[in-house]
Copies of this chain bind each other. A is one copy, B any other.
Amino acid sequence: MNKKEALKIYNSQNEKIRAYELVMNTTVYDKMTVAPKDGNAYCNRMMAIIEGELYNLKTAGEYVDAILYLSNEDLGEVGNRDIYLAKKSLDEILKFSKEEIMEFTLAQMDGNDAWYKAKMDKDYKEFEPYLLKLIELSKKKAQRRNPAIKAYDLFLDDYEEGMNMRKYDHFFSLIRKELLPLIKKIDKKKGFIDDSFLYRYYPADKQALFMKDIMDYLGYDKSWGYMGLTEHPFTISMSRNDVRVTTNYDEHNITAAIFSVIHECGHAFYEHQVDPKYDKYMFLHNMSSGMHESQSRFFENYLARRKSFFKLLYPKLQEYFPQNLGNVSLDKFMKAVSVSKCSLIRTEADELTYPIHILIRYELEKDIFAGKADLNKLDQLWNEKYKKYLGIEAGDASEGILQDIHWSDGSYGYFPTYALGSAIGAQLIHKMEKDLDVDALLEKGKFNKITKYLKDNVQHYGALYSFEEILKKATGEEFNPQYYIDYLKNKYGKIYEIKQ
């Protein structure tokens, strides 16, 4: 085999792999958005079979040989990065049999369905056996992958290259130390800001009309995007030119969908704006979750919670809901969407309490994979953490352990990237404010200047570098969570008139 032959095999097999991924992602999206439930069990079995076929491709003799050959060649910066990550994946998948991979896929898909049903029924017991099975399988997988590294460290690195418990412990201790005291103080000022009008009756069909306005404002275009409905909002990309988002309407909370849609659109732009020259590389799969989340939370918080963002949009919102908002000024609305309060649902949490929701999940996951958590009481442990940190308890499991989809498909180690992403976003907005007059652009509806800036400074790299490297290129500085802490303390200190 020479380099040319190896590259040919590598590229052609990768294209096949991408074809499988396209149809599988499409089937997942379909299943989450529209598929009738009676077909789920059959669909899951069929997906496990396709995953098995994909396993055959990923472990085919000449493909493996090509990767091994190329990992000793110099393919330039992009090629080297690609092969490095391909080799890393290969080393891992070769530790499993096809049957094991299929078993895990089936457990994920069935877990997902069971979670959904349990959440609708508000009954954790329905979901528990699926969750425990997935945890068990994940533990076994980690042990096989690398017994020298702690399972949870492996998972953390899966979602964020280079991260581990040592680094996250430091990060979260900062959050605990710096933010919890402020959260406690604000909790004592309940009612300081009136946000009751946000929780009036907002019919879903009218909310949907406003979401279209938001997407227009952001430039999330229907030629490359589409928004479906799911229990848990998410973003998934079929290709760079087909990036889907989903949302969910709470008819008694107008902000839930608004900020969730803006959030997912942030993810969507990241997928869409990667340099087309990377299309054929497999490393796109390894895009940093933290960096991804930094973009979504950038949209959701660092941009959309400004008055300038809503200058053009708010009058439209008032038009859809004249009874609820006709007499609410933009200033009053902006104050209301900046309320901080200890609440149960992560996706609806304000910026200040948000990282505590993540801290809770981080501690739980750590304990689960360190064998320190009583697996038969995970729902109770969840509630105890909320009581401890935020002083509140879930009424039922749908507001507690069942609220998030992640654990139902074996995504452990994912949550921490959400807080990390928020911190990255804070550092990025600090830099962007120096380069652009952000408020002026938002006020004038020139959101395309913002997305271009993000493309040029962050998104075009795709997965070429780790989040730390991209952040350094974008801001000229190392990752520094202090930006995040300062941002939150300043913002909420001012809003609640608390001296620190």
Residues on A lying within 8 angstroms of B by beta carbon are 15-16, 18-20, 22-24, 26-27, 29-30, 34-39, 42-43, 45-47, 49-50, 53, 205, 222-226, 228, 238-239, 241-242, 244
Contact = CB atoms under 8 A, between A and B. Distances in A.
A53 B18 CA distance: 13
Given A49-B19, A241-B42, A226 B36 contact: yes
A269 to B, nearest CB: 14
Majority SS of interface residues in chain A?
helix
Given A30-B29, A46-B18, A39 B228 contact: no
A280 B46 CA distance: 13
Contacts of A23: 23-24, 26-27, 46-47, 50
A435 to B, nearest CB: 29
A38 B224 contact: yes
- Of A20, A36, A244, chain B has the most CB atoms within 10 Å of the CB of A36
A22 B34 contact: no
Q: What copy number does this chain have within its complex?
A: 2
Contact of A26 (B27, B37, B222): B27
A10 to B, nearest CB: 16
Contact of A222 (B36, B239, B241): B36
A108 to B, nearest CB: 16
B49 A16 contact: yes
Contact of A242 (B22, B35, B49, B238): B35
Contacts of A30: 26, 29-30
Contacts of A15: 49
A308 to B, nearest CB: 29
Contact of A38 (B27, B35, B241): B241
Nearest to A20: B50
Contacts of A37: 223
A405 B37 CA distance: 29
A309 to B, nearest CB: 25
Contact of A36 (B29, B50, B242): B242
A16 B55 CA distance: 14
A231 to B, nearest CB: 15
Contacts of A223: 36-38
Contacts of A43: 22, 238-239, 242
Given A23-B23, A43-B22, A238 B50 contact: no
A169 B46 CA distance: 43
A34 B24 CA distance: 16
Given A36-B224, A49-B19, A222-B36, A239 B26 contact: no
A139 to B, nearest CB: 28
Contacts of A38: 223-224, 241-242
A383 to B, nearest CB: 33
Nearest to A241: B38
Given A34-B226, A36-B223, A42-B242, 13 more contacts: A20-B53, A26-B27, A34-B228, A35-B238, A35-B242, A36-B225, A36-B242, A38-B223, A39-B239, A39-B242, A42-B241, A53-B53, A205-B205
Contacts of A29: 30
Given A27-B23, A27-B26, A53-B16, A36 B228 contact: no
Contacts of A226: 34-36
Contacts of A239: 39, 42-43
Nearest to A15: B49
- Of A27, A45, A228, chain B has the most CB atoms within 10 Å of the CB of A27
Contact of A39 (B20, B35, B47, B241): B241
Contacts of A35: 26, 226, 238, 242
21 contacts: A15-B49, A16-B53, A19-B45, A20-B50, A23-B24, A23-B47, A26-B30, A26-B35, A34-B228, A36-B222, A36-B223, A36-B224, A36-B226, A36-B241, A37-B223, A38-B241, A39-B241, A39-B242, A42-B238, A43-B239, A205-B205
Contacts of A39: 224, 238-239, 241-242
A406 B15 CA distance: 30
A125 to B, nearest CB: 23
